[in-house]
Amino acid sequence: MADVSVNLGERSYNIYIDVANKHMIGKLIQDIKVNNKILMISDTTVGDLYGLRLIQLLEELGFIVELYCVSPGEQSKNINTAMQLYTKAITLGLDRNSVIIALGGGVIGDLSGFVAATYLRGIPFIQIPTSLLAQVDSSVGGKVAVNHPMGKNLIGAFYQPRTVLIDIDFLNTLPERELHTGLAEVIKYGMIADKKFFTYLRDHSQQILAKDSCILAEIVRRSCEIKAWVVEQDECESSIRAILNFGHTIGHAIEAYTNFSTYNHGEAVAIGMYGAALISNSLGMCNQITVNTLKHTLLQFNLPVYAPECNVDDLFRLLYRDKKVLDNKINWVLLNEIGEVNICNQVPETIIKLALTEITKSNYIS
């Protein structure tokens, strides 16, 4: 039984979510019609933790598996690493029925998916996401990419995996800060689509932060369900998929301003969500209680809401450099209330700058 299915016609696939299900992974891969050659791509951290065990399980089922580990982190998500992976795939003799498995966080998922999409014009691809961000976001929906020196994710494709296999147990070894970054995206799902889920998160914050596996499984399942629901309506991001960018417009500007070093993605998105809520409130779309509730929830999950090192004018300029800006118009995802957003591309500069002034103030001024 699939926990979540992503219905995209002939590109449909299932997401399986379980706790300690590694023994199931081999069986599920067997169900997908591929030959016995697998290139498993990971980073050295995740590969060292889980690679051997998974290879063993797959070899017991008759697969020939090669594990290729890249250095952990965003710097591996580039065309040079992709080239090394193509060389590996050619050397191993992977054909169109062989499979590439991404074992790792979003960096590994995006990179491996890009290689799978382009090698021989596309070979089967399976996601085994190990970070919370990858489990709730990057492994679902088919966006694959590598970075260009001039911008993130500029070289990519829409390429859906054959299946996504999620084991909540992977999160036991995930560093705290990486857990929090994933939680920002989880909170985002509540904000854009499901008030009840948002309340559930608030009510279970202690268990979530303590990595209670049953609660984590539930929040991963609901997050995947919401992402699948959005992607099913707009696979290639021509309309509603844009709501997934809630908090990302300002978030991307903060990441760029701080050179991707001060805040990780989820932290920047958390600040960006607070900024978007402030803009929504200034435009009279949502009330102050909604803004405060979001702010307190982010803080409850150890996420930041201020980026004091950023400068308002520079952030404002960077907003227009985002690759999602079309005809010099920003598509703002704004809040009506918790669980309901709308897209608006006409926000006065003064209102944007007011929000940027608030989010760049010092943490210590309340």
Total of residues contacting ligand NAD (CB under 6 A): 30
Instruction: Tell me the closest approach of the beta carbon of residue 333 to ligand NAD, in angstroms.
Output: 15
Cα(53)–Cα(167) distance, rounded to whole angstroms? 14
Q: Give yes or no: 23 in active site.
A: no
Instruction: Tell me the closest approach of the beta carbon of residue 43 to ligand NAD, in angstroms.
Output: 5
Cβ closest to ligand NAD, residue 166 vs residue 355? 166
Cβ closest to ligand NAD, residue 141 vs residue 275? 141
| Contact letters for ligand NAD, residues 324-363 (x by CB under 6 A) | ----------------------------------------
Q: Give yes or no: 148 in active site.
A: no
Whether the CB-CB separation of 196 and 218 falls below 8 Å is answered with no
Instruction: Tell me the closest approach of the beta carbon of residue 99 to ligand NAD, in angstroms.
Output: 19
List C-alpha distances in Å: 168 to 171, 173, 219, 348.
6, 10, 11, 43
Selected binder of ligand NAD within 38, 41, 108, 271 (CB under 6 A): 108
List C-alpha distances in Å: 319 to 214, 278, 314, 326.
39, 16, 9, 12
Which pairs with CB-CB distance under 8 Å and at least 24 residues apart come from 240-244?
Answer: 242/324, 242/331, 242/333, 242/343, 243/192, 243/193, 243/333, 243/341, 243/343, 244/188, 244/192
254 binds ligand NAD (CB under 6 A): no
Q: Which stretch, 133-141, 190-198, 199-207, 330-338, contacts ligand NAD (CB under 6 A)? A: 133-141
Whether the CB-CB separation of 272 and 251 falls below 8 Å is answered with yes
Label residues 163-180 b or e (16+ Cβ within 10 Å = b): bbbbbbbbbeebeeebbb
User: Which residues, 167 to 196, sit near ligand NAD by CB under 6 A?
Assistant: 170, 173-174, 178, 181
Whether the CB-CB separation of 257 and 278 falls below 8 Å is answered with no
15 binds ligand NAD (CB under 6 A): no
Roughly what angle, to the nearest 10 degrees, separates helices 195-203 and 288-300? 40
Selected binder of ligand NAD within 7, 60, 73, 336 (CB under 6 A): 73
Neighbouring C-beta atoms of residue 8, cutoff 10 Å: 16
Instruction: Tell me the closest approach of the beta carbon of residue 130 to ligand NAD, in angstroms.
Output: 4
Selecting among 37, 248, 267, 295, the annotated active-site residue is 248
Cβ closest to ligand NAD, residue 144 vs residue 286? 144
Cβ closest to ligand NAD, residue 105 vs residue 124? 105
Instruction: Tell me the closest approach of the beta carbon of residue 63 to ligand NAD, in angstroms.
Output: 22
151 binds ligand NAD (CB under 6 A): no
The residues of the shown chain that bind ligand NAD, judged by CB under 6 A, are 43, 45-46, 49, 72-74, 77, 104-108, 110, 130-131, 133-134, 137-138, 141, 143, 152-153, 170, 173-174, 178, 181, 265
The catalytic site residues sit at 121, 143, 185, 227, 237, 241, 245, 248, 252, 265
